[in-house]
């Protein structure tokens, strides 16, 4: 897991121009700030429910979603979904408001952190069920295939989720149906407090691809460019009718399983990752020759402002009322 | 509408007509295209039920076989529905819900609410239910109460070929997720069915027989059992009103309550297990909303609280029959405070 | 019994005492041993609920972590039970039943019947249920009616730390498969619990409060809600009898019917969804078996037919509270034919 | 699938003495006759329900179960369970009576063909749910491991069952827990009418073992000795604490998916298998040097009589009555 380089190496030919790099940086920075701020806000006691932070894993969502269209491409996410939402262009303020349970939230306050979705952006939802997303993504990919619109479906799941039967079945179905689908296993080493080294029989998630007849690769998730390259190849192949791919992204979560978990069981590991491997820092080093520090600092400032506004607007937004309780269960009923 | 076809044919015709009309309708399930990938298998089967037979050659690319991976393919149908298709997925036996229930009740059913009203998931999940074919405990259940309990799902129980066609077309056109429960002992039942396309709205009960003495609410295959009982009772001077709710969710409470308001007596006939089932659900509705009209205890005719036994000798005792309905109605009529 | 401990501690103590007493008791679930395979993880967690904390070091080899593979490990607990162990498996949130229901309702529940009385499957499946912690639609459900409906399963809903310990010990010693439903908002509730081992039999309701005017049957966490309502009603001169069935299967019908025979009025308070739930089940029982004594419509206090909403503003409206119980009881008392 | 030898080759060193070989032959012959007779009886209309015949696959159940004790070892079977039952020593007459729904049946007539079990013989049941058995076998193996009695658990499933998430999860759990378990995938080429070549992504069930960190082998299921050898190695390893194994057995079913299926989709294949590959015929050829024909013919005669008696006794046995309907749901209730 931590076999990655300590010194930044130059990304291979990535074909990304300045605006694309700035975009990627903005996405990663937005995710990071969103999560760090949530960590603080959660401590105030004002955020209800369960919150699972994505900080540390930014390069994965960003590197994958950089290849996706809002319109024809769909992703499904997990309980740890904020990063995927932001990378798929869900409005950040609507996300924050959702987490605070407000009517201005992406889901009118009915979903919360674990169920943020925006179908108009091809974001089929965070998911409270481990392994809930992969079957749905088979369907999104099937719809794209039936329509022939070149769209792809991408399912994110964790190392823990890679042991769920629903996920394993979906790999097989995608292979059998030759779907335009990509399965991204974010292996952060733990499912709650259970280590992936123990729970993933055979030790490699990527190697499971072969069992279902699809290519599998394992990439360094601290390196945006590594993720970007692997995802690009898989998504291009899917669009071209070449079928599904499984990508294992090796990375680390900076916070506990959920807010409230002290994670004493891995304090050293987190310290090391933050200091030596951090994907945002590394990205800045990797693009040092291409982008000016000032450009990146300007984004930092813009993002900081956005997150500030998101929090203060969420806090000020109205809560839903009794009139909202029984609406939207059905489109039509009685 | 002089033409008579079977329940199976009625369903097949509904699927074919909707596939013809709307290119977004697709069909999937184990052997639904008839076995795939090997020579000569195309349309060999039309699902184990034969309901999809003939569709595969007629609608190329829109009738899909699946591996035995119910979570994956039922989930895929749901995911495809969120992207604008109208998939009709066959779970085969409703007893198999246990390997894929999550996709149905935690995903499809909840999207619209959890996502603040922004999801549309027009999926139909077909499954056969019910006892009577000596299929034993894991292939004979009537699991629809577990689906009826889930907010966000609609649940359909057609009681005849006519209902099967009209409700299926409605299910496909409906924008909410629908669980469509076909009784396995009814596929060969024949009845009059219009050749043209038509829909039967959800939440509108059918009044199978009008009557003044006792309201008998019966579901799915039990509608014909209750009708037989009503005929027998009529001969002995008891006039039953037989109501077929057609859908358990939404449930047409109005028709049931209005009937009990007239008759003062209720017997519910249901094939599901007795605990937390439809018989209880409808009894509770009436005991809450129309108590003042009730003149007798609410009768329930259901199987016992046991798995479905295999031996024909036991299964015949397990299933509600007209004799038990007659007895329940008579005891309601004869009841003295 | 002056000692007070929490619901969580009561469960932990029950597990520890039974593991001490009987070497065939084993415990398994996600993080139940506290994370496995990495240095320093032993007993880091005791399940996400903390209920199994401390057991791993005390009972080496008998407290197992599992991958996130509920079908496999719940099935393994069931299989091990058929081979003489007494496994207690943690499903964590009851909402996760959708990925493993088959092993529970088609396998464990049916073995004894399907195999002609020759199987013994003493498995306990623990799961937390219920709303109130802003855990949203997929982590807040009260799914026990779906289990109650299944012949072959027993279903337990402890309403206090005292009940939690005594019912858990009974569940472990019981020879049938048991679904043990813990309310997630009650783990920190403190109450008097004897230090020594004891059992509370299944199918024997607790009479939480005696009364003459109205029978209030409440389940799980709703028992305290109903008790609060009863206290409030007593102040305005309405005398409620509050009954806690403790187990929904078997259900102590006798105690409920005997009470309604005296009071003539029934209100059921339940946290499960209203359709095909326990409120309906108990109402139907009474409308069938004790109709003659009833002097008012049977009231039900349940959530609406919606998924559980996330926003605290909505979730507080979703959950039955004492105010709604008071209103339901009053309307039963005030009802005129 | 049909790449097997047409001419019998000598079995490798199999270490089986005369009585063991006769035992194996008797088991295979019993299964074959039981199934062929059921096929005839079914046609009379007197057998209720669904019946899935195992004819053609005898070498698999027999080769595996030859290594198992009735006491400490457990198997779980499928809808196509008669062969596994017979190989695990379930009483043949009680099986026939069960299929006829009689009180003398193994399950008192309550289970039927799809649920024959005998826990006293370590036969945990046929199973109506595809993928139902593997999780249970993880539990049986766990019990053996906890008790340290050297017992093993064996899960049989089909090519179709190899795509069920419950099966895939079980492979992982058995690997992670290092259980004394053996997974036997009987690949007869079809799940109902769906071909395994299509439904098994990647094409090889045996290869799925690697994905979960266990050994996987593929053997010729028309050859008793091949199955016997592979199973012996796996079971020995399991008993010795070496963890689980996946064995793919390639074979053919002679009848339709269930009685009533005309299987026009594979008529040629069946003709070929019966004529050229049949495991019972082949066994006789393989042991020709060791056992006398007369010995084998005597077994044939004994088995024929047993099956005759089983049918006539089953037909004459009493049906259950109303008194049986509500018993045995619970051990104790109210
Ligand atoms: C079916 C199911 N089982 C268990 C859980 C509880 N749970 C939520 S997150 C989690 C750990 C997930 O681990 P992983 O997939 O590695 O994702 P990560 O949290 O590391 O991002 C568990 C066990 C769940 N939500 N759903
Ligand atoms: C969960 C589930 N899905 C579907 C079925 C219906 N079904 C019964 S047997 C069968 C085919 C099984 O194929 P395979 O596993 O290859 O076993 P075979 O019949 O070839 O022995 C199917 C689809 C079932 N019983 N359970
Ligand atoms: Mg993880
Ligand atoms: Mg097969």
At residue D317 the predicted structure's pLDDT band, cuts being 50, 70 and 90, is very high
- % chain D with pLDDT above 70: 96
pLDDT digits (tens, 9 = 90+) for B92-105: 999 999 999 999 99
At residue A98 the predicted structure's pLDDT band, cuts being 50, 70 and 90, is very high
Looking at beta carbons, which residues of chain B come within 8 Å of D128? 95, 136-139
At residue B35 the predicted structure's pLDDT band, cuts being 50, 70 and 90, is low
Q: Are D168 and D208 in contact (CB under 8 A)?
A: yes
Looking at beta carbons, which residues of chain C come within 8 Å of A319? 311-313
Q: The tokens of C293 are what?
A: 């004594």
Mutation choice for D interface testing from A212, A213, A245 by most D CBs within 10 A: A212
CA of A257 relative to ligand 3 center, distance in Å: 8
d(CA B104, CA B91): 11
d(CA A35, CA A56): 10
CA of D158 relative to ligand 4 center, distance in Å: 5
Question: CA angle, A182 as apex, A177 and A183 as ends, to 5°?
Answer: 105
Bridge partner list, B64: B28
**Residue A19, Cβ density class (10 Å: 0-12 exposed, 13-18 middle, ≥19 buried):** exposed
Return residues with CB closer than 5 A to ligand 3 (ion): A 158-159, 188, 190-191
pLDDT digits (tens, 9 = 90+) for B158-190: 999 999 999 999 999 999 999 999 999 999 999
Is the pLDDT at D7 greater than 60? The verdict is: no
Mutation choice for A interface testing from B31, B116, B119 by most A CBs within 10 A: B116
Is the pLDDT at A173 greater than 60? The verdict is: yes
- Give the side-chain half-sphere CA count within 13 A for B47: 25
Taking residues C293-302, report their average pLDDT: 98
CA dihedral sign, ordered C218, C222, C223, C226: negative
Q: Are D212 and D175 in contact (CB under 8 A)?
A: yes
Is the pLDDT at D245 greater than 90? The verdict is: yes
Q: Which ligand is nearest to the CA of D163?
A: 2
Query: What is the model's pLDDT at position A15?
Result: 84
| Mean per-residue pLDDT over chain A, rounded | 95
- D103 near A CB under 8 A: no
Ligand 2 pocket member D188 (CB < 6 A): yes
d(CA B50, CA B61): 19
pLDDT digits (tens, 9 = 90+) for B77-90: 999 999 999 999 99
Which atom of ligand 1 is found nearest the CA of A258? Answer: 19
Ligand 2 pocket member D129 (CB < 6 A): yes
Lowest mean pLDDT among C243-257, C317-331, D59-73, D263-277: D263-277
List strand residue ranges (DSSP E) for D150-252, in order.
153-158, 181-187, 190-191, 194-195, 216-220, 245-250
At residue B36 the predicted structure's pLDDT band, cuts being 50, 70 and 90, is low
Query: What is the model's pLDDT at position C1?
Result: 54
Which residues of A sit within 8 Å Cβ distance of C? 48-50, 101-102, 107, 109-112, 114-115, 127-131, 160-161, 163-166, 190-195, 197-201, 264-266, 319-322, 324-326, 329
By Cβ distance, the residue of A125, A153, A173 closest to B73 is A173
Is the pLDDT at C78 greater than 70? The verdict is: yes
Query: What is the model's pLDDT at position D5?
Result: 38
d(CA D230, CA A44): 62
Catalytic residue flag (residue D265): yes
Catalytic residue flag (residue D100): no
Query: Chains with ≥3 Cβ pairs under 8 A against A?
Result: B, C, D
Beta strands at D194-195 and D190-191: parallel, antiparallel or unpaired = antiparallel
Cβ separation A211–D203 shorter than 8 A = no
CA of A159 relative to ligand 1 center, distance in Å: 9
Rg over alpha carbons for chain A, rounded to the nearest Å, is: 19
Is the pLDDT at B39 greater than 60? The verdict is: no
CA of A67 relative to ligand 3 center, distance in Å: 24
Residue spans of alpha helices (H) in C149-303? 161-173, 222-235, 253-263, 278-289
At residue A303 the predicted structure's pLDDT band, cuts being 50, 70 and 90, is very high
Nearest CA to ligand 2 atom 11: D191
* Residue B114, phi then psi, degrees to nearest 5: -60, -35
Q: Which ligand is nearest to the CA of A77?
A: 1
Ligand 2 pocket member D160 (CB < 6 A): yes
Looking at beta carbons, which residues of chain D come within 8 Å of C153? none
pLDDT digits (tens, 9 = 90+) for A54-88: 999 999 999 999 999 999 999 999 999 999 999 99
Query: What is the model's pLDDT at position D15?
Result: 84
Which atom of ligand 1 is found nearest the CA of A157? Answer: 15
Cβ separation C273–B149 shorter than 8 A = yes
pLDDT digits (tens, 9 = 90+) for A174-204: 999 999 999 999 999 999 999 999 999 999 9
At residue B334 the predicted structure's pLDDT band, cuts being 50, 70 and 90, is very high
Cβ separation D139–C112 shorter than 8 A = no
Taking residues B223-252, report their average pLDDT: 98
Query: What is the model's pLDDT at position D293?
Result: 96
At residue A5 the predicted structure's pLDDT band, cuts being 50, 70 and 90, is very low
CA of D130 relative to ligand 2 center, distance in Å: 5
Cβ separation A166–B117 shorter than 8 A = no
Looking at beta carbons, which residues of chain A come within 8 Å of B73? 135, 138, 173
Which atom of ligand 2 is found nearest the CA of D131? Answer: 1
Taking residues A125-147, report their average pLDDT: 98
d(CA B50, CA D62): 35
- % chain A with pLDDT above 70: 96
Is the pLDDT at A12 greater than 80? The verdict is: no
Cβ separation C287–B286 shorter than 8 A = yes
Query: What is the model's pLDDT at position B274?
Result: 98
pLDDT digits (tens, 9 = 90+) for C189-247: 999 999 999 999 999 999 999 999 999 999 999 999 999 999 999 999 999 999 999 99
Q: Are A184 and A155 in contact (CB under 8 A)?
A: yes
Is the pLDDT at C45 greater than 90? The verdict is: no
Taking residues C10-35, report their average pLDDT: 95
At residue D265 the predicted structure's pLDDT band, cuts being 50, 70 and 90, is confident
At residue C41 the predicted structure's pLDDT band, cuts being 50, 70 and 90, is low
Ligand 2 pocket member B30 (CB < 6 A): yes
| Mean per-residue pLDDT over chain C, rounded | 96
Query: What is the model's pLDDT at position D22?
Result: 98
CA of A55 relative to ligand 3 center, distance in Å: 13
CA dihedral sign, ordered D32, D33, D36, D37: negative
Lowest mean pLDDT among D12-21, D74-83, D127-136: D12-21
In Å, how far is C79's CA from the nearest CA of chain D?
4
- Whether this model's ipTM surpasses 0.95 comes out as yes
Taking residues D57-67, report their average pLDDT: 98
Which atom of ligand 2 is found nearest the CA of D79? Answer: 9
At residue D261 the predicted structure's pLDDT band, cuts being 50, 70 and 90, is confident
Is the pLDDT at B230 greater than 90? The verdict is: yes
Is the pLDDT at A2 greater than 50? The verdict is: no
Query: What is the model's pLDDT at position C67?
Result: 97
Cβ separation D207–A210 shorter than 8 A = yes
Query: What is the model's pLDDT at position D3?
Result: 39
At residue D1 the predicted structure's pLDDT band, cuts being 50, 70 and 90, is very low
Cβ contacts of C103 within 8 Å, gap of 6 or more = B98, C71, C74, C75, C78, D132, D135, D136, D166
Ligand 1, pocket-test mutation among C44, C68, C72, most atoms within 8 A of CB: C68
Cβ separation A169–D171 shorter than 8 A = no
Residue reference for tokens 């050297």:
D150
d(CA B298, CA B335): 11
Is the pLDDT at A3 greater than 70? The verdict is: no
**pTM, whole model, 2 decimals?**
0.98
Query: What is the model's pLDDT at position B37?
Result: 54
Lowest mean pLDDT among C25-34, C289-298, D109-118: C25-34
At residue D228 the predicted structure's pLDDT band, cuts being 50, 70 and 90, is very high
Query: What is the model's pLDDT at position D10?
Result: 60
Query: What is the model's pLDDT at position C35?
Result: 67
Mutation choice for D interface testing from C36, C114, C123 by most D CBs within 10 A: C114
By Cβ distance, the residue of B34, B72, B312 closest to D193 is B34
Q: The tokens of A168 are what?
A: 């394993």
Q: Which of A134, A126, A133 is nearest to A52 (CA)?
A: A126
CA of B100 relative to ligand 2 center, distance in Å: 15
pLDDT digits (tens, 9 = 90+) for B252-303: 999 999 999 999 999 999 999 999 999 999 999 999 999 999 999 999 999 9
């Amino acid at each position: 897991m931590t076999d990655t380089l300590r010194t930044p190496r130059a990304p291979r030919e990535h074909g990304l121009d300045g605006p694309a790099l700035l975009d990627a940086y903005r996405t990663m920075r937005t995710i990071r700030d969103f999560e760090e701020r949530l960590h603080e806000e959660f401590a105030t006691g004002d955020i209800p429910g369960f919150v699972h932070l994505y900080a540390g894993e930014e390069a994965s969502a960003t590197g994958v979603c950089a290849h996706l269209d809002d319109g024809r491409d769909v992703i499904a996410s997990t309980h740890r979904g904020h990063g995927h939402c932001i990378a798929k262009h869900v409005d950040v303020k609507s996300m924050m408001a959702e987490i605070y349970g407000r009517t201005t939230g992406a889901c009118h306050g009915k979903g919360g952190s674990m169920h943020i979705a925006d179908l108009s952006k091809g974001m089929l939802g965070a998911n409270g069920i481990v392994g809930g997303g992969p079957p749905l993504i088979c369907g999104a990919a099937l719809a794209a295939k039936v329509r022939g619109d070149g769209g792809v479906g991408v399912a994110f799941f964790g190392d823990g989720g890679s042991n769920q039967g629903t996920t394993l079945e979906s790999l097989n179905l995608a292979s059998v149906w030759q779907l335009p689908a990509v399965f991204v296993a974010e292996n952060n080493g733990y499912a709650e407090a259970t280590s992936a080294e123990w729970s993933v029989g055979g030790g490699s998630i990527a190697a499971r691809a072969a069992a279902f007849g699809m290519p599998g690769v394992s990439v360094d998730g601290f390196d945006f460019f590594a993720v970007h390259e692997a995802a690009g190849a898989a998504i291009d192949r899917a669009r071209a009718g070449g079928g599904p791919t499984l990508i294992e992204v090796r990375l680390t979560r900076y916070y506990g399983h959920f807010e409230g978990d002290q994670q004493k069981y891995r304090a050293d590991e987190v310290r090391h990752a933050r200091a030596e491997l951090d994907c945002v820092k590394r990205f800045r080093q990797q693009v040092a020759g291409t982008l000016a520090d000032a450009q990146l600092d300007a984004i930092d400032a813009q993002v900081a402002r956005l997150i500030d506004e998101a929090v203060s607007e969420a806090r000020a937004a109205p809560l839903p009322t009794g009139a909202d309780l029984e609406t939207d269960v059905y489109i039509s009923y009685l | 509408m002089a033409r008579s076809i079977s329940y199976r044919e009625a369903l097949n015709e509904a699927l074919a007509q909707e596939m013809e009309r709307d290119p977004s309708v697709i069909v999937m399930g184990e052997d639904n295209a008839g076995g795939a990938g090997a020579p000569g298998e195309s349309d060999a089967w039309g699902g184990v039920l034969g309901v999809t037979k003939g569709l595969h050659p007629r609608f190329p690319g829109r009738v899909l076989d699946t591996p035995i991976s119910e979570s994956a393919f039922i989930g895929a149908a749901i995911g495809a529905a969120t992207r604008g298709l109208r998939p009709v997925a066959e779970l085969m036996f409703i007893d198999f819900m246990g390997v894929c229930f999550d996709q149905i009740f935690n995903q499809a059913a909840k999207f619209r609410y959890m996502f603040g009203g922004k999801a549309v998931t027009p999926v139909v999940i077909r499954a056969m239910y019910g006892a009577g074919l000596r299929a034993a405990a894991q292939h004979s259940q009537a699991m629809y109460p577990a689906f009826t309990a889930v907010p966000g799902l609609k649940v359909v129980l057609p009681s005849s070929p006519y209902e099967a066609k009209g409700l299926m077309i409605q299910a496909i056109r409906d924008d909410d997720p629908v669980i469509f429960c076909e009784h396995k002992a009814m596929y060969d039942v024949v009845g009059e069915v219009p050749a043209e396309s038509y829909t039967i709205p959800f939440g509108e009960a059918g009044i199978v027989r009008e009557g003044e003495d006792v309201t008998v609410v019966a579901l799915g295959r039990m509608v014909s059992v209750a009708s037989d009982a009503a005929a027998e009772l009529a001969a002995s001077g008891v006039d039953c009103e037989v109501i077929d709710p057609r859908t358990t969710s939404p449930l047409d409470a109005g028709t049931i309550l209005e009937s009990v308001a007239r008759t003062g007596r209720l017997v519910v006939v249901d094939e599901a297990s007795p605990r937390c089932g439809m018989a209880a659900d409808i009894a509770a509705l009436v005991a809450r909303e129309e108590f003042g009209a009730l003149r007798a205890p609410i009768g329930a005719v259901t199987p016992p609280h046991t798995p479905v036994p295999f031996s024909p000798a036991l299964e015949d005792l397990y299933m509600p029959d007209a004799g038990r309905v007659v007895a329940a109605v008579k005891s309601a009529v004869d009841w003295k405070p």
